[in-house]
Amino acid sequence: MGERDWRPFVYGGLASCVAEFGTFPIDLTKTRLQVQGQKLDKAHAKLKYRGMVDCFLQVTRQEGFHALYSGIWPAVLRQATYGTIKFGTYYSLKEILIQKNYGKESVGLNVCCAVTAGAVSSAIANPTDVLKVRMQIGGTHTNIGLVACFKNVYMQEGISGLWRGVSPTAQRAAVIAAVELPVYDFCKSHLMTAFGDKVTNHFISSVIASLGSAIASTPIDVVRTRLMNQIHIKPSSSDGIISTPSHIYKGTIDCFLRTFKNEGFWAFYKGFIPTWVRMGPWNIIFFITYEQLKKVY
């Protein structure tokens, strides 16, 4: 492999971590909005938050400003793995296919590379996503750190607990990547005449890409978050008592059906505003950082 092969991985990982720090409080409000209103879960059946701003204010007032960063370390760890693999694989795979003369760069080629990169990277990083969701929802009330959260999940639910929701996570990542990356590349190339390879071009392209990916991915994200948040305690026969699993949904399809039946279609777009509000700045920070790293090095 030539020197150019490792750069997309390093740039992607660094830019992802920078973007995560800048937008994490918005992601926390999105997660809390997505789990509330589950009629089968008494803890979340009542709507506590009226929207993104109300959630932000309540968390700050009741738990303190630092609660907005509950789960930041598994989130950064996730981006260090997911972001590195996703963006590195996408740009490297795309370049390899073009060089192999499988065809010139096209939307179809970009979508295939993006779907592969998104699904593989998210599946590998799923444990960090589970820890992030648990810590975001628990906030300062649980007063638990990254290592303690990992131990709790592993001891109570086993290794499978760390891969809870991996199917919708991979599907969501594939959808986001399939829309976000090709749309960004498409917009960037078509705006090159008007703006050149400048920050203005990167800004506009990333905003357009984030809107498309938010619309396409939010329903899957709602299901993913709910599956990750539910606890499935391993059965234990100690003292002659078999513990009962504490979970709501049997799987991805069951979660889709129950959510639609109990809460209606728009339940799949709970947290859409913070999702889009976060994706916009996240993509702006990421792509501008990524493009600047490319120029510097």
Backbone angles phi, psi at 203, to 5 degrees: -65, -55
Query: Rounded to an integer, what distance in angstroms lies between the CA atom of residue 26 and that of residue 12?
Result: 21
Q: Are 129 and 161 in contact (CB under 8 A)?
A: no
Average pLDDT in the 210-232 region? 85
Query: Rounded to an integer, what distance in angstroms lies between the CA atom of residue 29 and that of residue 49?
Result: 9
Q: Are 265 and 278 in contact (CB under 8 A)?
A: no
What is the per-residue pLDDT across 42-88, written as a single tens digit (0 to 9) for each?
A: 555 567 888 889 999 999 999 999 899 988 999 999 999 998 999 88
Query: Rounded to an integer, what distance in angstroms lies between the CA atom of residue 55 and that of residue 178?
Result: 30
CATH number of 3-231+244-296: 1.50.40.10
pLDDT score of 133: 86
What is the per-residue pLDDT across 94-148, written as a single tens digit (0 to 9) for each?
A: 888 887 766 677 888 889 999 999 999 999 999 999 998 888 887 766 667 888 8
Angle between helices 52-63 and 126-142 (to 10 degrees): 60
Write the single-letter amino acid at 58. Answer: Q
Q: How confident is the model at residue 244 (pLDDT cuts 50, 70, 90)?
A: very low
Please enumerate, as own/partner, the contacts of 55-59 that have beta carbons within 8 Å and a separation of 24 or more: 55/29, 55/274, 56/25, 56/29, 59/28, 59/29, 59/32, 59/139
What is the per-residue pLDDT across 148-206, written as a single tens digit (0 to 9) for each?
A: 889 988 988 888 889 888 988 898 899 999 999 999 999 999 999 999 999 999 999 99
Backbone angles phi, psi at 20, to 5 degrees: -65, -45
Q: How far apart are the first and last CA of the chain?
A: 18
Left, alpha or beta for 62 (phi > 0: left; psi -120 to 50: alpha)?
Answer: alpha
pLDDT score of 276: 87
Q: Are 17 and 80 in contact (CB under 8 A)?
A: yes
Mean pLDDT of the chain: 84
Burial zone of 4 (CB within 10 Å; 0-12 exposed, 13-18 middle, 19+ buried): exposed
DSSP 163-214: GTTHHHHHHHHHHHHHHHHHHHHHHHHHTHHHH-SSHHHHHHHHHHHHHHHH
The DSSP call for residue 83 is: I
pLDDT score of 58: 94
Secondary structure element (H or E) that encloses residue 239, with its range:
none
pLDDT score of 204: 95
Find the Cα–Cα–Cα–Cα dihedral 178, 162, 15, 26, rounded to 10°: 90
Q: How confident is the model at residue 239 (pLDDT cuts 50, 70, 90)?
A: very low
What is the per-residue pLDDT across 25-48, written as a single tens digit (0 to 9) for each?
A: 999 998 888 888 766 555 555 678
pLDDT score of 91: 87
* CA 198 distance to own-chain centroid: 27
Three-class secondary structure of residue 144 per DSSP: coil
